[in-house]
Amino acid sequence: MASTGKSIIRWLLALGLIFAGVGHLTHQRNEFQAQVPNWFPVDADVVVVASGVVEIALGAALLVISRRALIGWLVAGFFLAIFPGNIAQWVEGTDAFGLDTDTKRFVRLFFQPVLIAAALWSTDAWLTARSPEPRADDG
């Protein structure tokens, strides 16, 4: 059974993903479009809508699907996949969500690994990455 701390973090991640996903589709759509790198070959609005739908689905999955480790890996993978957008926002100097200085955009980069770790820890997904014990016939 998951500890209370893990459950709280998992719920916070889930609610954060759902809230951000709804923002992608509604009132924060332009802000999220500003974070899509200029070099990305897909229309920014398509990326924002698609990632919003994925965020809502992942957030809901964290709350209702019993295979938490799998969902944890998917959420961590999603956070990793959107990290280049955060780097591009810093490199390109794009203002969005109050990140209006290079320092603020740079500091934000350090929060993505925290989100990845939180997804893996709160779902016990990191436990599935541990190497199995070597078998006697493995030499």
Domain spans, the chain: 4-125
Cα dihedral 70, 76, 79, 82, rounded to 10, equals -70
Phi and psi of 78, rounded to 5°? -65, -45
Span 65-81, pLDDT tens digits? 989 999 999 999 999 99
Q: Structure pTM?
A: 0.86
pLDDT at 102: 93
Average pLDDT in the 108-135 region?
85
Cα angle value 86/99/43 (rounded, 5°): 45
138 has a pLDDT exceeding 60: no
Task: List CB contacts of 79: < 8 A, sequence separation 6 or more.
Answer: 112, 115, 116, 119
What's the gap between Cα 124 and its chain centre?
16
Task: List CB contacts of 114: < 8 A, sequence separation 6 or more.
Answer: none
Span 85-107, pLDDT tens digits? 889 889 999 888 889 999 999 99
pLDDT at 60: 98
Question: CA 23, CA 96: separation in Å to the nearest integer?
Answer: 13
Residue with more model confidence, 92 or 137? 92
